[in-house]
Amino acid sequence: MQKNRLPHWEQDGCSYFLTFRLADSVPKHLLDDWKSERLIWLQLNPEPWSQDKEKEYHERFSGARERWLDAQHGECLLQNRDARSRLDWILKEDAAQIWAYVTMPNHVHVLASLPPETELANWMQVLKGGSAYAINQALGRRGQLWAKDYFDRLIRDRRHFRNCAHYIRKNPVKAHLSEGAYTLFESEYVRELLA
């Protein structure tokens, strides 16, 4: 576990909604402002929160990160079809059950179930490490590709699973991406669930 990072909740045999992003996808000044504003907000709004306060928190702070990613900051290396195809291959060849994913220009959302006794942190390290090597090779570049951390949410139930799959499907539309600027994969199960 890295210093100053929250622990990731894990449970054997469960599904996860995961988001990971390119290292340059969130400008430092936005992240610094966000951290300052969040700290002040938390001081003014101590827990426990009402439902309205929790909603305000997520709209203001969780939503900000999604808006920044959809604004396509950084080089957006994943707009390159070769880069996306390398990541696609790694995801599809993995031992995890990949239910759905979308590769956006500067970030990725994945809905997956990990094999028994597979630790999420280890799986993410292998996924990000292998894909960074393959993508850097495809683009003729070197250096850090992915941001160090990632966002994960343990799937609670069928409704939550469906909501995450729907979010993945709609993310390119929400970001106003044209066909060819992203890759969307849905398993047969997800396609039937969202029909």
Same domain, 50 and 62: yes
- Whether residue 6 is contained in a domain is answered as no
- Whether residue 130 is contained in a domain is answered as yes
pLDDT tens per residue, range 81-94:
999 999 999 998 88
Q: Which residue has the tokens 């970030």?
A: 107
Same domain, 110 and 32: no
Same domain, 20 and 37: no
- Whether residue 140 is contained in a domain is answered as yes
- Whether residue 170 is contained in a domain is answered as yes
Cα–Cα distance, 23 to 158 (Å, whole number)? 32
Number of domains in the chain: 2
Same domain, 123 and 40: no
- Whether residue 101 is contained in a domain is answered as yes
pLDDT tens per residue, range 123-178:
999 999 999 999 999 999 999 999 998 999 999 999 999 999 999 999 999 999 99
Taking alpha carbons only, the member of 151, 156, 102, 93 closest to residue 124 is: 151
Q: How many other C-beta atoms are found inside a 10 Å radius of the C-beta of residue 134?
A: 18
Evaluate whether 102 touches 175 at the Cβ level (below 8 Å): no
- Which residues does residue 97 pair with via DSSP β-bridges, in sequence order? 113
pLDDT over 70 (residue 189): yes
Cα–Cα distance, 158 to 164 (Å, whole number)? 10
Same domain, 118 and 57: no
Query: What domain range includes position 38?
Result: 28-72
Q: What is the pLDDT of residue 11?
A: 57
- Whether residue 1 is contained in a domain is answered as no
pLDDT tens per residue, range 18-34:
999 999 999 999 989 99
Positive or negative: CA dihedral 155, 157, 158, 159: negative
pLDDT, mean over the chain: 90
Task: Classify strands 15-21 and 183-186 as parallel, antiparallel or unpaired.
Answer: unpaired
